[in-house]
Chains A and B, each alone.
Chain A
């Protein structure tokens, strides 16, 4: 069927099964917005208030569903505003396709109005990007973009479409096939390596599973749970991996790393075999590399060969999709005659239980001020631990990770890699669009929320009943914490003076505002916030918390996993 490039885009997205597209119009995408008006039947466009939020919303949608998030922004400032969102998705390997408008091909390179080299600017923060110069290539390029974004190690792909290409006509046929000769993602792990890995696991005396976001991205939670229970080994999860294995299971030692639990970090440090699955030995996990797990042999399962032996040299690398590799591991395990060293494992668990008994997440519950930890626990209680929790970045993010345990994957949505403040609210919007009947929470602080607070307006327009839990301590808490520990309490620029009245602010946007100041009434107030009374309303819950509280445990930068600061 003959149609314009803009129409081709709309028809392609619908044929590709895209439900939602987050965006903001502008000069260089006007033909596409016109085609959305004339041609879109199943595709739903959501108008955000800032392009960064469009990307985070698509990101939240992608993380909570596994489907690619799709974004549409204009050239120049539209694209540059999207950059932070794209980088956020890139660092966490989130499948995403970002369509950017570009000035007409004849003007490219002439410093035209709202011209920017989008392909050049986004190159280091995308899995791949395209500039479409000919309308006849558009459908194939879009197909490639979706294929690249969603296969192998997922990631964002940018497709830059000049305005004249949007207007030019061609014959549109939905491309069923895609062929990229240089791109052949691994579909199967090496069977010999998998056998060797299982042998090593079974001969371990102090084994530990260390699992990350790759398990969730690879939809392998079920396989991970089966394998872990069959092995009976302790399991640590990274910030990105929370929910892949049920936190309530006694085998789960919690999160590891800088603010991980005592038992998780010590078990990691003292282990003799580490089974790393879909995790990338990030510096926030390993601490000082020279002191990292001195006795451990390492098995590493990852879809991306470049992740293997990048930071830590591993003994048995297995490149492949986590789901397939774990399935094969389970089969090998079921058929082997090799036995586990039960005696050694019993001693290992005894040691771990001793570490666990330190109860490292304890905190003072006697004061008159609300403790942020208590606030997160109260939110967990009000929501039966079954909400989608999107987080901003800072102390509240760590409190949520520590005190809102997740039993299911894709429930914990946070910017782990880039650490983007302002991520939470738009991400929670994307989650809510994907799961209209679910409870979508944004856990934030008074600093982070102001980085994308304009999206309260979007939430009103689309009736998104997100529940915002703002842990308001009047400080950029994580900055303040580091200044307290490492800069002799010189609180340079970490104090947020002149805060708005968030309750009134929420109300002025047409939402409900609630302030919680008293620990005694907190649970009742939160129960009400999450009750049917506000089922269809966005509620901004401003919780005034203890200003002096710090996130513990903590591994200071440069220290080893066994050198934790407890409370």
Chain B
């Protein structure tokens, strides 16, 4: 099953490679990974998507907690949460397709953010399934380039992943 594991870690060089190194050394999968600093400049927020049995996920969380640079770890999938991913997709846009893309963008609540005489670049935010659905309805021959941020997530309600 897919799990979204979110963590706060020291904003130090090498911290990311400790996390990614753990996954490669122990043979765990990383489907997606995203990392950026937080409002507290000493901390980075890293979110990764992985999959495995419950036992494997438990081991992953335990091993992540063992890393000295990792301050706090949470498996978002365990509770109510929101997940989002950003996608930028560049498509060949000529003839009738120029109108069709605008209609599709409306349906998917996406924005066309760059236009040339032959291309559109569309920006879309949503959970990964929504982004997949959009890609699937397009003629693959028209897709020039896809850039996805990887999933990030946050707990619903008042609960937060923060230093206690």
Contacts and interface: CB of A to CB of B under 8 A. Distances in A.
Interface stretch (B64-72, B75-83, B100-108): B64-72
Nearest to A133: B13
The 10 closest A-B pairs by CB, nearest first: A182-B71, A306-B62, A128-B68, A305-B62, A124-B25, A306-B63, A306-B66, A183-B68, A123-B21, A124-B21
B58 A309 contact: yes
Contacts of B70: 182
Contacts of B58: 309
B68 A306 contact: no
Contacts of A310: 59
Interface of A: 119-120, 123-124, 127-128, 131, 148, 180-183, 304-306, 309-310, 313
B66 to A, nearest CB: 5
Contacts of B117: none
Given A123-B17, A123-B21, A124-B25, A305 B55 contact: no
Contacts of B17: 120, 123
A180 B59 contact: no
B128 to A, nearest CB: 29
Contact of B14 (A119, A127, A313): A119
A181 B163 contact: yes
Nearest to A119: B14
B18 interface: yes
Contacts of A148: 68
Contacts of B85: none
A307 to B, nearest CB: 9
Contact of B65 (A120, A123, A131, A305): A305
B10 interface: yes
Interface of B: 9-10, 14, 17-18, 21, 25, 55, 58-59, 62-63, 65-66, 68-72, 163
Given A309-B55, A313-B55, A123 B18 contact: yes
Contacts of A128: 68-69
A124 to B, nearest CB: 5
Contacts of A119: 14
Nearest to B65: A305
B134 to A, nearest CB: 39
Contact of A180 (B25, B55, B68, B163): B68
Contact of A182 (B10, B59, B63): B10
Contacts of A123: 14, 17-18, 21
13 contacts: A119-B14, A120-B17, A123-B14, A124-B25, A131-B14, A182-B72, A183-B68, A304-B66, A305-B66, A306-B65, A309-B55, A309-B59, A313-B55
Given A127-B68, A306-B62, 15 more contacts: A119-B14, A123-B17, A123-B18, A123-B21, A124-B21, A148-B68, A181-B71, A181-B163, A182-B10, A182-B72, A304-B66, A306-B59, A306-B66, A310-B59, A313-B55
A182 B68 contact: yes
A119 B14 CA distance: 9
A366 B69 CA distance: 60
A113 B68 CA distance: 31
Nearest to B163: A181
Contacts of B69: 128, 182
Contacts of A305: 62, 65-66
A181 B65 CA distance: 12
Residue of A180, A181, A304, A306 with most chain B CB atoms under a 10 A cut-off: A306
A138 to B, nearest CB: 16
A310 B63 CA distance: 10
Contacts of A120: 17
B15 to A, nearest CB: 10
Nearest to B68: A128
Nearest to A181: B71
A119 to B, nearest CB: 6
Nearest to B10: A182
Nearest to A304: B66
Contacts of B71: 181-182
Contacts of B68: 127-128, 148, 180, 182-183
Contacts of B18: 123
A400 to B, nearest CB: 31
A313 B25 CA distance: 22
Contacts of B65: 305-306
A106 B163 CA distance: 35
Contacts of B163: 181
Contacts of B62: 305-306
A493 B72 CA distance: 50
A130 to B, nearest CB: 9
A120 B15 CA distance: 11
A511 B62 CA distance: 50
Contacts of B72: 182
A182 B25 CA distance: 22
A186 B9 CA distance: 20
Best-surrounded residue of B59, B63, B68 (most CB of chain A within 10 A)? B68
A51 B78 CA distance: 47
A173 to B, nearest CB: 23
A127 B65 CA distance: 12
Nearest to B63: A306
A119 B12 CA distance: 13
Nearest to B66: A306
A181 B69 CA distance: 9
A305 B69 CA distance: 17
A182 to B, nearest CB: 4
